[in-house]
Structure 1
Amino acid sequence: MNHPDFRHLLACMDDVTSAAMDENTGPADPAEYHSLYGRLQDAADTLPPLYRVHVYEPFMLAVDKLSEAGFNSMLNRDPRKEREAGLFFDIAHAILQNSEAYEREATDAFQEVVSDLYDGFLSEEDRKGIKPPDESLIAPLVKWGRPQFGPYTWTAEAAAHFDIKTGIVNLPPANARHGLLAWSALGHETAGHDILHADKGLLAELQHHVYDALADELSHSTLANYWALRIDETASDVLGILNTGPAAGIGLIGYFRGLNKAYTGVPTLRNTGPQNDPHPADILRGYLAAETVRLLQFDNAAEWAEALQEETDKDHSGILLGRTSLDVETAKKSAAIVARTITNARLNSLEGHALGQIQNWQNHDEKIVRDIRTHLSESQAVHDCVVSGMYAAHVVAAAVTASIAGEVPISDAFSRMTALLKTMHDANPSWGPLYVRHRGDLSPHRAYSRTAS
């Protein structure tokens, strides 16, 4: 199994810092309606059938309906492009960047990771006995841009304002070339936010469960309220780890430290949690990552959990949530309760199933990651890195953990990761000529298995 080895975490953090300070903003937002319309028309045949039906065609109808006057009015209402104009341009960029081959290899690699993470929770193979999701039919589209906002997602709920049937996931353009640990955050965005908003009532139900569990077990209503009000970000962290394994946990710690160094000069997890911040304090997210990993179903989950907790402890300097001070032991206990509740609570919105039943990280996942790590460190040939049963999440986990352990230089891990993901994307049936929503839907139901489970 893969034992935690963080010897080169500092180098990976510096890679994050370098990417965060990169001035590349990506393709400019189209400033003129008719020029944009023409470019979108040229993109008509570049998306696969599934995305033409559910994204391109409804968006073009919305663009038609908007008109030049409406386009200009939208920009006047939202000049900073943080609301409807931001969503509009992000949908347009997702279509155009695919059509115009912007960062082709990295874009296809990015799309493959997002498709895989989404498939991991919503395909028929993984949701046996659970109704299909309410809101989203297909995996989100990806794009590069708006580095000041970092990784983010527009959920299918938001994108429905332009009648499209999926979300949009963004990474800063620099992360097409470096900043490897940012890729470990994709589980948070896709297996997190996009999943939580795909089933009606899921987020609210989790919020109630988390509040009740903390109030009952800790008798601390302030802390219960703090976590519950941040359920979207909190549950997204948990879901990212359920789908990507412990790499998402150490990736989160290293990523936040690298960003904090870029923006504040201090490469540590923040111990403060302002009341108006929808995210839990960094230090709590480190402890949450450790406790979520502890719940994973692979043999050395406890070893990884302890290593993540020790790594988080290094940055503890006194936790302040709003105006409330919190001792570290209570913080750790609360993180354990939150992780357990989100992972194991039986949810009516999932027909009595728990999120941890739909997706978890097991011994066979660790074996696949170990095998990919070996190939990444020994070979530059993409075809030599192919491992039976691997998915995109395994490839990202392998690149992240191999780099943090110092088994392969970060730049080599990054380039080999994207090259391998690109080949996987080229073989993804959802991006072929058929109307396949999730690769996991193409799973036979066998009458007999040659191997006992």
Structure 2
Amino acid sequence: MPVGTASASPLPLSLPAAAPVQAVAAPAGPDPVALAGLPAAIEEARAAALSGAGGPPDPATFAALRARLAKASAALPPAYRRAVAEPLVRTLDQLGPGGFARLLREDPDRQGEARLLLDVAQAVLQRGEGHRARATAAFQEVVSDLYEGFLSAEDRRGVKPPDHGVVPPLVRWGSAETGPYTWPATATAAVGVKAAVVSLPAANASAGLLAWPALAHETAGHDVLEADVGLRAQLAGAVRDRLLGAGIAPAVAGYWAERIDETAADVLGVLNMGPAAAVGLVGYFRAMNAAAHGRAALRNVGRAEDPHPADLARAYLAAETVRLLSFEGAGRWADRLVAEADRDLGRVWLGKTEVAPAVVKASAALVAQAIARTRLPALEGRALQQIQDWRDRDEAVVADLREVVSGRGGRSGAARAGRAYGGGAYAAHVVAAAVYEAAGGGVAPEAVMDRMVGVLAAMHGKNAGWRDAAARPPSPGAAAPAPPRVA
């Protein structure tokens, strides 16, 4: 199943190594910590979810899928042809027309093996055939940046290469019903593929800004957790031990530890994108709940069978992770995020246990500390926050980029963004800048998002790992990868 809201040889980083960035004054726009624009951003995300937009239909026959994959794969960089397209075609050839038809027949709801194969195929087809080219380039840039930013970080020096995942995930646009999710590399290995696949609803190619911070949860969260063998189990143990050691009830400690996939992915998302990831989490959950049930509020109940913690618990967890970050305004942001979550506070149930609000908040803070700061054997004795953190220099870059995504800066804003790129701005900074600007309320979220996508697509155009492939369109007679030899 996909995971969602779900020795490395990585591609080169999207931008050159950072020179130190000097702190800059706050931009002229409104203060994002006030969250004055959050209701408008929630409404924009709700409308996008209800728009009904979907991705391209799946090819209906083996022959159509095989032919299109052969042609589309030629538009991918060599690393992705080797890691994704060629092994996928080999798997398809091993199935043959009969096996492919049987796979679709046995998974009529597209929740298992058929969904996996078709999702990977769509990732190849959508990129190779130029579907929503500008938004897809932006999407790919964010995912590549987040994945490489953790697995290739300077602070990872001295830590062994990850066990899974050869290249950053490939991306696809899917249905509104599924929300953001990922197939980690450990899942795509079932079809011979050596990269994860990350999906966003197709409506979010042009609307629903608050869905984009969820990419930090999916890519810097789930896909990273799957990259190092033993990491998930060690984090679950650290969470359980920290909570029990603080006198938290075993039922509550077990609740958090048993949901380590989603819990740790939330923490990793904040470590990689800063407060914007936490704002996105609160806003996106409210938007999706409004779309589904008519009320823009965080859920206070976490069902025992749900692998995701209750929305409210996740909001407090994200806020307390922000409090741990290494930038000057972390405490102010954390306090504001806690206050925002408090607006939806009611009786809280974690599984079958009713938990007092004070205990929910205290346990969230302990879980954040355990995940971010416990030194782990899977990381050669390093803690996750030693590998990825949000610092004052990140806030400075975001301040520059706000001038661009807001439209306030004009040509001077573009020049400032150019300087920021040279100083180490990455795609995660661009998404954070857009979220800050929308949260501040000075500019409509749809306008901010359009500029964000434009900046990200331009950055992707400079990405050395993709630039040569983009300049080389697929040839009409592109040869398919050779089928495997069968003894």
The reply to whether TM is greater than 0.5 is yes
Distance (Å, rounded) in 2 between the aligned partners of 1:61 and 1:174: 32
Q: Is the 8 A contact 2:208 2:446 kept in 1?
A: no
Tell me which of 403, 406, 429 is aligned to 2:464: 429
Aligned counterpart, 2:279: 250
Q: Give the C-alpha shift of residue 22 in structure 1.
A: 1.2
- For 1:338, the aligned partner's letter is V
Tell me which of 414, 433, 444 is aligned to 1:398: 433
Q: Give the C-alpha shift of residue 383 in structure 1.
A: 4.7
Tell me which of 342, 356, 370 is aligned to 1:341: 370
Aligned counterpart, 1:24: 53
- For 1:424, the aligned partner's letter is M
Distance (Å, rounded) in 2 between the aligned partners of 1:43 and 1:103: 15
2:403 equivalent to 1:374: yes
Q: Is the 8 A contact 2:244 2:253 kept in 1?
A: yes
Distance (Å, rounded) in 2 between the aligned partners of 1:200 and 1:322: 28
Q: Give the C-alpha shift of residue 5 in structure 1.
A: 2.3
Instruction: Please show how residues 243-392 of structure 1 align to structure 2 within 5 Å.
Output: 243-377=272-406, 378-379=408-409, 383-384=414-415, 385-386=417-418, 387=420, 388-392=423-427
Aligned counterpart, 2:446: 411
Q: Is the 8 A contact 1:3 1:300 kept in 2?
A: no
Aligned counterpart, 2:40: 11
Aligned counterpart, 1:175: 204
Q: Is the 8 A contact 2:127 2:133 kept in 1?
A: yes
Shift in alpha-carbon separation, 1:171–1:91, aligned structure 2, 3 A: same
Distance (Å, rounded) in 2 between the aligned partners of 1:194 and 1:84: 19
Distance (Å, rounded) in 1 between the aligned partners of 2:409 and 2:222: 35
Shift in alpha-carbon separation, 1:380–1:264, aligned structure 2, 3 A: farther
2:165 equivalent to 1:130: no
- For 1:414, the aligned partner's letter is M
SS in structure 1 at match of 2:389: coil
SS in structure 2 at match of 1:218: coil
Aligned pair count? 434
Tell me which of 65, 68, 82 is aligned to 2:94: 65
Aligned counterpart, 1:445: none
Q: Is the 8 A contact 1:211 1:228 kept in 2?
A: yes
- For 1:408, the aligned partner's letter is V
Q: Give the C-alpha shift of residue 301 in structure 1.
A: 0.2
- For 2:196, the aligned partner's letter is G
- For 2:50, the aligned partner's letter is M
Q: Give the C-alpha shift of residue 408 in structure 1.
A: 2.1
Distance (Å, rounded) in 2 between the aligned partners of 1:401 and 1:93: 32
Q: Give identity over the alignment, percent.
A: 48
Aligned counterpart, 2:263: 234
Shift in alpha-carbon separation, 1:3–1:301, aligned structure 2, 3 A: farther
Q: Is the 8 A contact 1:154 1:168 kept in 2?
A: yes
Aligned counterpart, 1:438: none
Q: Is the 8 A contact 1:3 1:304 kept in 2?
A: no
Distance (Å, rounded) in 2 between the aligned partners of 1:311 and 1:323: 26
Shift in alpha-carbon separation, 1:415–1:301, aligned structure 2, 3 A: same
Q: Is the 8 A contact 2:53 2:175 kept in 1?
A: no
SS in structure 2 at match of 1:97: helix
Q: Is the 8 A contact 1:120 1:126 kept in 2?
A: no
- For 1:353, the aligned partner's letter is R
SS in structure 1 at match of 2:349: strand
Q: Give the C-alpha shift of residue 379 in structure 1.
A: 4.3
- For 1:9, the aligned partner's letter is L
Alpha-carbon displacement from aligned partner over 1:172-205 (angstroms, at most 9, x marks no partner): 0000010000001110000000000000000011
SS in structure 2 at match of 1:7: coil
Q: Is the 8 A contact 1:215 1:221 kept in 2?
A: yes
Distance (Å, rounded) in 1 between the aligned partners of 2:107 and 2:156: 39
Q: Give the C-alpha shift of residue 164 in structure 1.
A: 0.9
Structure 1: runs of 5+ lacking an equivalent:
435-453
Mean CA deviation greater in 16-25 or 306-315: 16-25
Q: Give the C-alpha shift of residue 404 in structure 1.
A: 1.1
Structure 2: runs of 5+ lacking an equivalent:
1-25, 470-487
Aligned counterpart, 2:81: 52
Distance (Å, rounded) in 1 between the aligned partners of 2:445 and 2:146: 23
Q: Report which structure shows greater RCO (CA 8 Å, sep ≥6).
A: 2
Distance (Å, rounded) in 2 between the aligned partners of 1:276 and 1:354: 30
Q: Is the 8 A contact 2:134 2:454 kept in 1?
A: yes
Mean CA deviation greater in 424-433 or 347-356: 424-433
Q: Is the 8 A contact 1:241 1:292 kept in 2?
A: yes
Alpha-carbon displacement from aligned partner over 1:85-119 (angstroms, at most 9, x marks no partner): 00100010000000111111000000000000001
SS in structure 1 at match of 2:264: helix
Aligned counterpart, 2:483: none
- For 2:318, the aligned partner's letter is A
